[in-house]
Structure 1
Amino acid sequence: MASLHISNVRKAYGPTEILKNINIDVTDGDFLVLVGPSGCGKSTLLSLIAGLDTISGGEIRIDNDRVNDLHPSERDIAMVFQSYALYPNMTVGQNISFGLEMRKVSKVERDKAVADAARLLQIEHLIKRRPGQLSGGQRQRVAMGRALVRDPKIFLFDEPLSNLDAKLRVDMRTEIKKLHQRLGATIVYVTHDQIEAMTLATRIAVMKGGVIQQFGTPAEIYSTPANTFVATFMGSPSMNLIPAVLTTRSDTLVLTMGEGSAAVRLDLPAQSAAVARYAGKKVIAGLRPEAIGVESSRVPDAVREVAVKVLVMEPTGPDTLAALEMGGVEVAARLGADIPHSPGEHCNLRVDLSKLVLFDAQTEERIA
């Protein structure tokens, strides 16, 4: 396996800039997920790594080798496509071994590689079948097997699960995670699905408009989003963003959400000096749904009680999603499965302010 270094990479088609100064460092064995809305440039970046398109500026290195001008066949990468790209007239075994055959690998070695990949992916019983006789999940395993036998430095996945139904997508996601854990492979994976990104990645690059909005671990992306775009794009339901004002009372910072009689005023636990400098200014308060209606917290001193009105309750089985009115603003909360409240009811819920994230009201960047 290998490391991947992307330095100041740009891609433009005429005057239209698709990627703008992309910088990413992936270490050996990392699982990098490129995530973002359609048209953000994530698939374009994957194509540049693969050598299927040329870069307009910057540098891509695999290990210490600059690959900008290398043909895809010389980069030692293997790609798994959204469309599977299997040959319909070949059996599963022939599809998996075709690339090796083109490289003049001996039949003995080919057969061993195919058998090893089939065993790893649990498709030994499908070796003699053709793609038309397989389900979508089985076809995706065959496409992965074809990549595996190459034993490349880097695996590239281009939205490989988007054609599968919801349950199969979850199952295949688990299989890909297991595969990464077994192989310790370096993987770059493109998706627009933030659940896939959070569950699969060791590193995530959130993209928008050809720019990386944030690069970090799933925990960093989720708990300390760099801006309001990342805050709302990652997480389901997304982070609540509530217009607020910071003031001081004695030596305590007070967060006021809403206006007039509906306003909610909360004494904040100790904050950073950067947050303290916003006293007297408008901010955006970010709270994840699970921070509202908590029963306990790792930081008990950060828990506050807040008056809310229940608007909608959506039982999901293990928990209940609720739409609440708090400070005159509608917010989403993830409550317990047996929460004893009903729509229209006024009640008090506990809010965990240790999970509060504050953003600049003008720039929408997180206040560190």
Structure 2
Amino acid sequence: MTGPRITIIGSALSGNKGAAAMLEAAIQTLEERLDDPRFTLFSMYPAEDAAQNPYPNLDIVAASPRQLGVTINSLALAYRILPFLRPLLRRRSKAIDALAGSAVLLDQGGITFTDGREKFLLYNIASILPALNTRTPVFKCAQAVGPFTNPVNRRASRTFLPKVRTLVTRGRITHEYAEGLGLRNLFAGADYAFSLELDGTEEAAVAAHVDLGFFDGDVVGVCPSVVLQKKVDQRGGDYVGQLVTFIEAVRAQGKRVLLIPHSVRTGTEKTHNNDLPLCRDIHARLQPGDDLLFVDRELTSQQLRYLIGRCGLFVASRFHAMVSSLAMAVPTLVIGWSHKYREVLEMFDLEEWAFGHDQLTPEHLAARFADLDARRAEVKTKLDDHLPGVKRTSVRQADLIADLVRSRS
């Protein structure tokens, strides 16, 4: 007898390693709670994900935005309204067979149904609509939603979010937005990536590519983001230039700098879910030296977390790079673009260490970093105090998912 089937959308193994961390955390935690579960990932990058897939119980199904929005949604609608076609649809479509045979769809989109991101709204809907049409419960893993002031987003959210079995909110601000919309299918959680555990192989794997002796000194990790670059440059700023200035100033203080991309797609210069071209540009403008280490390759989410954990301080613009640094109890300064950063830092009583991209100037960045450096012991104490509780809250969603799966067996 085979175990329960679980379909996942909104995450990946390749590209954004925050998405990989959420996916792998789900696999880790649910394997501990369920007997022989089988997972299916609806993937934007099926070839890349398949090439990096180490899990024998994870199947990869192609689900590019066009495939998802047109083909899979159309077939799921046909499945709903034409019952006599259901056996044929399951034989002909791996996606429909996976959904119809699954106990639950896990939606791991990191931020959905949010004002200012209306161009992603159709994708947010298309991600969950096939499951609704196949009568598969939708469990939205910890994510940011809201605000809902835009009429288009508000109407879509009021239509679709109540149909979700459970929406795990990723922090206080998101929870208040969701409650303000009248939602009652909520669980106040923490990002699923906080549940990700290292397996002990990371040091040896990283040492094959990186001289770990670099971390004998005081190392500051810097993780840029092409998303931040676009926002800063659109308002006339110079994101690359500002980070170069900052990194050189940190090195002048006698510290070492780790330049590390947390979202990488190997073999392409496309910048969607890919910070490597940006990091290469930054690195090319920096003075070479033994006090600078650039990770110019794609690593796994666990390997990245291990490296981040070796830092003394961290400056993050990628959300899940921040999650990894917090999970490794590294004092962190965050340059963000959404409430999703601040509400996670609030869980550690550290929200003062986030500021928006609209405040990014060389002077402000240098001043905030100097404050963090001076208060690192205080910040580290708060991280150590709060981290166990945040991890418990994160892993609680695995209990909820497992309970839902068992109730449908």
Provide the TM-score with structure 1 as the length reference: 0.29
Structure (1/2) with the larger strand percentage: 1
Q: State the structure with more CA Rg.
A: 1
Structure (1/2) with the larger helix percentage: 2
Provide the TM-score with structure 2 as the length reference: 0.27
